[in-house]
Structure 1
Amino acid sequence: MKRLLLVAQMLLLSASLWAQQTQGVTVGQVPTIGISRSVSLHFISPEKISYVDLSSAAMIGDLPEKNILRVKVVPDSISSLISTGDAGLVTVVGESFIAQYKLVFLKSSDSGQISTQVNILPSHMSPLDISGISLTHSDFRSNAFRLLNERYKKPISMQSMFGISISVNRIMSLGDFVMLDIGFINDTNLKFDVDEIRFKIEDRKINRSTNVQSVEISPVFQLYPFESFKKSYRNIYVLKKATFPGDKIFNIELSEKQISGRKLNVALRYSDILEADTF
């Protein structure tokens, strides 16, 4: 009896393991899209596309925009596609999802079933769980606009020099990220052509007898391109959270292109970041 019970338990365990191994998406479960020799097929993603796979050499694709995948039939493959009708699978990976589609080659006479545009819908998506990535580009953008629309009393830190002012208006905590609302004012009649804006953790006091340690942090997102400003400008930058001791400062450095080469620095204390508001 015990032997029969043990065999039954082993069979149940084997069935459970088999079910776990076979879990997933089959070709028959993915949406089917009709494609033709004379029509380009465009997949429109709600997020930036980070990866694409075309399983068939009969298809080629490119990314004319960050969120648009264009797929075409390779002319030399048309004869084989006509005989089989199988144009392979398209896999599209965004920042937070993966979606797959089965392509079927159709004759031009089947125009009612040939697609020219496919919107990647939530029902087509399987979520991705990528360690270290908790927010998408769309999340950063929507929260950046929200921050721009909120009022603030006075800047947290500000520095003026050469007729140029740079101010940190607000600091917001967003998950594992920090959002900086930074303003720029030009009181001169000369346009400020931006060379670069850099974010660094540096020594608070520089001792000439020791090496200066500086750690640069690159933004993971900025709302607007930053090339120049005539009078006033405001932008949102998102950085990965970082900790630093009290003898360090978080320095924001704005530099101008040569020949003038004006340079400004505005510093934040660690307490300024610790006291950041939360969305």
Structure 2
Amino acid sequence: MKVLFLIVSLYFTVTINLLAQNKAATYRENLTNIVIDNKTSLHIISPEPIRYVDISTHKLVGDLPESHVVRLKLVHDSLDTQENNVADLGVVTIVGESFIAQYNLSYLNTIAQYNAVASFDILPHHTKPITNLPEITTKELHQHALSILNKRKSEPIRQSNNYGIRAELGAIYTVGDLVLLDITYYNATKLSYDMDELRFKIEDKKITKATNVQSIEIKPIWQLYPHKAFKKQHRNIYVFKKVTFPDNKILHIELSEKQISGRTITLKIKYRDILQADTF
């Protein structure tokens, strides 16, 4: 009787494990297949920035020409096109901020040129969610940044003027452990301002010649627009990981111009400004 009980228990254990494995596993036969030829580059387009790509064969080369695009191309002479009518090129794996997508890749020598896939969109049903998601994705940051721009501008929290350039801190928002700064630069001169570098540093409020200056530079993890030259106005949203600093220090924002005699303007933000930030 004990032997029978052990056999039944083992049977159910193995069955449950197999069912769990089948539920957790992704099999190649269930993956979407993409057929390419040896003359066309394949561009796979992601709905969000790509963090990782794996190509499982040396017969393909790939790169990321843009943050949302994977480009794949067959390596010349990697296949004998006279003898190999069909070739399995393995699996390409693409990981975004919130998903993983995998595709079977095949080479077909006899495929008509107009039937070769040139671009392919990653669709929701091709993807599998990643469990350890970031607190907020780039897509969500972009939506929050645009909503800030659409809000009615009130009196600036901080502002400064130099060389006909005015800097304004319009608003501060927080979402999760992130801080979003709404900063606008105005140009009252007739010369366009060619932005070179924007640096964010935590420094002492008061600096004397007798003291050593302690400066800690922090960098935004994301910004809405790239830096460029502007004639009248440049408004941008900068995102930082949560940062704390004592009351005797400030967040020093310095914008410099590309010219040799470039104009420089600084904007100083107090920690209490960040503590009074709005939230989404």
- 1:136 is aligned with what amino acid? T
Distance 2:118 2:263 in 1: 51
Q: CA separation of 1:113/1:208 partners in 2, compared to 1, >3 Å: closer, same or farther? A: same
Distance 1:261 1:117 in 2: 44
TM-score for both structures, normalised by structure 2: 0.86
> How much has 1:89 moved relative to structure 2?
0.8
**Alpha-carbon RMSD:** 2.7
Determine if the alignment matches structure 1 residue 123 to structure 2 residue 113.
no
Partner of 2:207: 206
Distance 2:89 2:219 in 1: 42
1:224-260: CA deviation from partner (whole Å, max 9, x where unpaired): 2223222222111111111112222122112233432
Secondary structure (helix, strand or coil) at the match of 1:140 reads helix
Distance 2:115 2:233 in 1: 53
> How much has 1:12 moved relative to structure 2?
4.8
TM-score for both structures, normalised by structure 1: 0.87
Partner of 2:250: 249
Determine if the alignment matches structure 1 residue 169 to structure 2 residue 170.
yes
The answer to whether the 8 Å contact 1:164/1:185 transfers is yes
The answer to whether the 8 Å contact 1:37/1:78 transfers is no
Distance 2:247 2:7 in 1: 65
Q: CA separation of 1:270/1:14 partners in 2, compared to 1, >3 Å: closer, same or farther? A: farther
1:156-194: CA deviation from partner (whole Å, max 9, x where unpaired): 101112221101001111222111111111222233232
Determine if the alignment matches structure 1 residue 37 to structure 2 residue 38.
yes
- 1:187 is aligned with what amino acid? A
> How much has 1:85 moved relative to structure 2?
2.6
Paired residues for 1:144-183 under 5 Å: 144-183=145-184
> How much has 1:147 moved relative to structure 2?
1.2
Distance 1:185 1:233 in 2: 7
Determine if the alignment matches structure 1 residue 100 to structure 2 residue 97.
no
Q: CA separation of 1:33/1:269 partners in 2, compared to 1, >3 Å: closer, same or farther? A: same
Paired residues for 1:1-279 under 5 Å: 12=12, 16=16, 20=20, 23-79=24-80, 82=84, 85-109=87-111, 114-130=116-132, 133-279=134-280
The answer to whether the 8 Å contact 1:52/1:91 transfers is yes
Secondary structure (helix, strand or coil) at the match of 1:273 reads helix
Q: CA separation of 1:188/1:113 partners in 2, compared to 1, >3 Å: closer, same or farther? A: closer
- 1:35 is aligned with what amino acid? I
Secondary structure (helix, strand or coil) at the match of 1:85 reads strand
Distance 1:72 1:43 in 2: 11
Corresponding residue pairs, total:
278
Distance 1:141 1:109 in 2: 41
Secondary structure (helix, strand or coil) at the match of 1:28 reads helix
> How much has 1:25 moved relative to structure 2?
1.1
Unaligned runs of 5+ in 2: none
Distance 1:185 1:169 in 2: 12
> How much has 1:84 moved relative to structure 2?
5.3
1:124-158: CA deviation from partner (whole Å, max 9, x where unpaired): 11223457x32233222232222111112110101
Unaligned runs of 5+ in 1: none
